[in-house]
Amino acid sequence: MSTNSRATPAATHADDILRLVDPAGTLNEEAAAGMLDVTDELVRALYRDMVLGRRFDQEAYSLQRQGELGLWLMSLGQEAAQAGSIRALRADDRVFPSYREHVAALCRGISPAELLSQWRGASHGSWDPERYHFHIYSLVLATQTLHAVGYAMGVRYDAGDSVVFTYFGDGASSQGDANEALNWAAVTSAPIVFFCQNNGWAISTPASKQYAGPLSERAKGFGLDAVSVDGNDVLAVYAATQRMAERVRTGGAPGFIEAHTYRMSGHSTSDDPGRYRDSAELARWEAHDPVERVRLLLTARGWADEDYFAAVASDAEELAAQTRRECRAIAEPSLSDTFRNTLCEETEALRREREGFETFEESFL
């Protein structure tokens, strides 16, 4: 069993990490006052986002185990990092996700069917990025960081005031693409915020084996404005993202947010985390559960009662049922579409091959 366990948020350069709500649900009113208008409406809305996102993730995991999906990459434990960040952005801010941002995608209005189609093997990406201002998932590690910088340069050239926001993990930060993206963003002053969900593990490689110093410090070395935040504290994430996005929007240097969180499940449904991390580490992080933290805050403040929590739970079960229905209703892909989608425009040779295949296929129907 691995002994290279990663520290809890409180023990990882604690003096430098922004936290507004502790694991017991206690709000640091003095710290929050200078950063965020904490209202009952805001906290309830973020709680609902997190609960629904977690329930969707659990249902997708179950569907994969039932053979309905080929693979699933879970977001369990990272709900605060995603809900807090995406809700702090403007609707026209462009988002470039990796492959685990299911909570953020749901917040942008992407449906269960659109999210699951790729994992069912029915499409390469089934939602319209222009409609949601949310790019399709990128499965090649860190490639979306370069796509995001390129798009942000276009925003700058067009004199727009939207911000580009890209998600990636601590493992992706070790890729050359990510480092090139950080450097090029700084050199071109691109209006972009990099959001690293540092969940402690690059599949089975712990953070301690990836880098010796904080990722936020590395970003500063490239010339970015960087902060660290407790990624399991949804209000701290919301505040940090809102402030960073608005600073970049008004002409500041590109931003970098390192959100310290934890992947409470495996890297994917093909991964067994018990082979490389111990149960004690998981137990420590379960005590920092992001959803329970907000529930405790709502209860302590008298901002929600059991009827509210029951209503949110009911909504989550409705989403789970919708997810099952939509997943099983996804149409099987047609092999003839492969010919159409191989190139941007179908060539004459590909057209002849497709028509020949379709004629051959019809003879067996």
Q: DSSP readout, 207-261?
A: GGGT-SS-HHHHHHHHT-EEEEEETT-HHHHHHHHHHHHHHHHTTPPPEEEEEE-
276 catalytically annotated: yes
225-230/164-169 β-pairing = unpaired
192-198/17-18 β-pairing = unpaired
Segments of the chain scoring below 50 in pLDDT: 1-13
CATH of domain 14-333: 3.40.50.970
Task: Give the Å distances, CA to CA, from 162 to 84, 96, 100, 127.
Answer: 18, 13, 24, 21
Bridge partners of 134, per DSSP, are 95
What pLDDT is recorded for position 365? 64
Q: Are 92 and 162 in contact (CB under 8 A)?
A: yes
Phi/psi for 195 (5° steps) reads: -120, 105
What pLDDT is recorded for position 18? 97
What pLDDT is recorded for position 344? 87
What pLDDT is recorded for position 361? 78
The pTM of this model reads: 0.92
Order across the sheet with 192-198: list the strands. Answer: 17-18, 225-230, 255-260, 192-198, 164-169, 94-96
267 catalytically annotated: yes
Catalytic residue among 6, 218, 267, 277: 267
Catalytic residue among 147, 276, 308, 324: 276
Short-list 254, 74, 229, CA closest to 148: 254
What pLDDT is recorded for position 362? 79
Catalytic residue among 100, 135, 263, 293: 263
Tokens at 122, concatenated: 């029915």
Q: Report the alpha-carbon distance of residue 365 to residue 354 in Å, rounded.
A: 17
Per-domain residue ranges for the chain? Answer: 14-333, 334-364
